Amino acid sequence: MSIDRPTGLKAGFHAHLQQAGVPGLVHAGDQHAPTSWVIRSHTHEVWELYLQLAGPPTRWTVADRTCHVPSRGLLAVPPGVPHAMAASSTAPYHFHFAALAPADIVPPADLNPMWQQHQPIVVTDATAMITPFELFLREVTTYQPLRTGGLTHTAALLIIEASRLAHGRQVGRALALHPAIATAKRLIGTHLAESLTVEDLAAGARLSPAYLAELFRTQTGETPGRYRTRLRTERARMLLSETDRPITTIAAELGYSSSQHFATAFRRETGTTPSKYRHTATGGPHQTTAAFQ
């Protein structure tokens, strides 16, 4: 397995996974692209998943079809089908990607028939894919015990979640959790950078702000603000240890007004600064990385 970075990216990597010991995995990555970065026409012998995390909608030509992929949207391209961006983006954009063979990863009895078709799939709201993708990319970029099993199971999770979304199934709520609190937690998690107020959460959950705040404390043991801070810290730890994104970029992605504000909040939660945490977690600067192509 090798990891590299193509010339022209703002940040990110491309991991080649054919030698990773897991049949069905070809490549994967995470990339921050400038407006000049245009993905040219190419094909693969396996399915390719493109999850756009940020930036304006991108327009794709997939065989003879045009597909529009918004922020938090998913494009899945079948084997052997040519695909390319139809035009450059109007602003920088950020995406995860993975090329894999579902039939080699998921047991036949569990494999959705959709993976046998030859048409592209577009899911306009694929927010539920973000966590599975991050778990998978963590296994891709980190050498640790049971790595082969980690790669296998997180790749399977990607395929399962994409199957659910393609059929329009809603993500199930947590058992024993009030539906309004499940909604509030989902809103916080998917809008970390926006610092939603209790009023915003209450409107989304269709409860009064006072009742939502009390119910949230009762069911989770913490306030919505405290839950958001904990989530931001957990995500910051992952981004610092497993990506090479600049600290200023991470601060902005998590909703902090400046890198100084981020550093202060991170130190309050962890006892160390973001730069020191990254150095300790990685043993030095990250090895840099490649592209969705």
- Range of weakest confidence among 26-40, 68-82, 116-130: 116-130
Residue 27 pLDDT greater than 70, yes or no? yes
- Alpha carbon distance 199, 196 (integer Å): 8
Domain boundary among 134, 166, 198: 166
Are residues 93 and 55 both part of a single domain? yes
- Domain count for the chain: 2
Question: Considering 122, 140, 166, which residue would you say is the last residue of a domain?
Answer: 166
**Together in a domain, 99 and 227:** no
Query: Tell me, what's the pLDDT at 251?
Result: 93
pLDDT of residue 160: 93
Is residue 31, in this structure, part of any structural domain at all?
yes
Do 276 and 186 share a structural domain?
yes
Here the CATH number for the domain that contains residue 18 is 2.60.120.10
Tell me the H-state helices in the chain.
102-105, 130-141, 147-166, 179-190, 198-205, 209-220, 224-242, 247-253, 259-270, 274-282
Question: What six digits make up the tokens of 30?
Answer: 């995470």
pLDDT digits (tens, 9 = 90+) for 144-190: 889 899 999 999 999 999 998 887 643 333 345 688 888 898 899 88
Q: Region 30-38: what's the mean pLDDT?
A: 91
Distance CA(212)–CA(101), nearest Å, equals 44
Q: Are residues 50 and 156 in the same domain?
A: yes
262 lies in some domain: yes
Residue 51 lies in a domain: yes
- CATH number for the domain spanning 243: value is 1.10.10.60
Distance CA(166)–CA(186), nearest Å, equals 20
Which of 143, 166, 189 represents a domain boundary (last residue)? Answer: 166
**Residue 293: band (very low, low, confident or very high) from pLDDT cuts 50, 70, 90:** very low
Task: Give me the phi and psi of 168, to 5 degrees please.
Answer: 70, 20
Give the separation between CA 161 and CA 154, rounded to whole angstroms.
10
Does residue 21 share a domain with residue 143? Answer: yes
Residue 289 lies in a domain: no
23 shares its domain with 77: yes
191-218 confidence digits (pLDDT tens): 888 889 999 999 998 889 999 998 888 8
d(C-alpha 135, C-alpha 43), whole Å: 26
For Cα atoms 102, 67, 107, give the angle at the middle one, nearest 5 degrees. 10
Residues 80 and 126 placed together within one structural domain of the fold: yes
Q: Is residue 288 part of a domain?
A: no
Better pLDDT: 41 or 189:
41
Q: Both 104 and 220 in a single domain?
A: no
Same domain membership, residue 251 and residue 191: yes
Q: Show the domain range for 16.
A: 2-166
Q: Is residue 223 part of a domain?
A: yes
Instruction: State residue 285's pLDDT score.
Output: 47
Examine the domain organization and report whether 12 and 157 are in the same domain: yes
Is 174 a member of any domain? no
Same domain as 38, residue 114? yes
pLDDT given at position 177: 66
Is residue 156, in this structure, part of any structural domain at all? yes
Q: How confident is the model at residue 284 (pLDDT cuts 50, 70, 90)?
A: low
219 and 95 within one domain: no
Share of the chain above pLDDT 70, in %: 93
